[in-house]
Amino acid sequence: MTAGLSGPMPAEAEIVRLAGRDVRVRWRRSARARRLSLRVDAREAEIVMTLPPRVERAAGLTLLRSHAVWVLSRLDHLPAAVPWHDGGEVLLDGRPHAIAHCPDGRRGVWIEDDVVKVSGEAPFLRRRLTAFLREEAGRRLGARLAQIGGPAGLRPRRIVIKDTSSRWGSCSADGTVMLNWRLVMAPADVQHYVVAHELAHLRHMNHGPDFWVLVAGLTPHRHRAETWLRRHGPGLLRAA
């Protein structure tokens, strides 16, 4: 969760040998980056290297190899991917829901007695379920934005629901709030905190003391939510 949106150029991926293992590295050239950086993309189980202007790929490889132990440890501790399928499970508001394929159904995707039912042909189950969850995220998170921000006079100029690989939310200087649709799978208090965090950025585009005072006034869930996201957030990113 940050106070701004980055603008990297299209990325290219390759396999790099690191400490005797092959790892997937995605290179991003960003005109806004001030320094070389690397991170582990939990969703794709790959390394993302961001290069500022005029910084060569060789410098990125040097940084990557100097952090080989940390990188490989992070990759090894990623949760296994959880593919959605008939008879599987999906989270909604932190509660597990069974997935049931209903090929003769005429309702698209719907919830019935804590079961998410998906109509249509089996090969399209994951795509239909993803589209349904994105719509649910827009509806539920949008309602939370209004519920939390309205009384405080914090109203985004625009709301964007996206599928990001590292951020749960962000707020740009023009008042646009972005939220990761996968938050709809997290418990309600986690959603509440992330929404409050981004709304607070409408008034404070930083993480200074005034920002955190405002966050505390908007939500009581900060510490529990941050702990939950550290522990379980990568699992949400690996679900599909």
> Tens of pLDDT along 71-113?
999 888 888 888 899 999 999 999 999 999 999 887 799 999 9
95: Cα within 13 Å, side-chain hemisphere: 8
pTM of the model: 0.80
pLDDT at 129: 97
Structure tokens at 43: 């969703």
Consecutive 10-residue runs of the chain (240 residues): their mean pLDDT?
42 87 91 90 88 91 93 88 92 96 89 94 95 96 96 96 91 96 97 98 96 98 97 91
pLDDT at 7: 39
pLDDT at 1: 52
Map tokens 């500022």 to a residue: 52
CA neighbor of 191 nearest in space, from 92, 110, 112, 97: 92
CA distance 18 to 73: 12
> Residue 46: how many CB atoms within 10 A of its CB?
17
pLDDT at 164: 87
Structure tokens at 152: 């405080």
Domain annotation for the chain: domains and CATH numbers: 12-76 (no CATH), 132-238 (3.30.2010.10)
Structure tokens at 81: 């991917």
Structure tokens at 216: 């505390």
How does DSSP classify residue 93? T
pLDDT at 8: 41
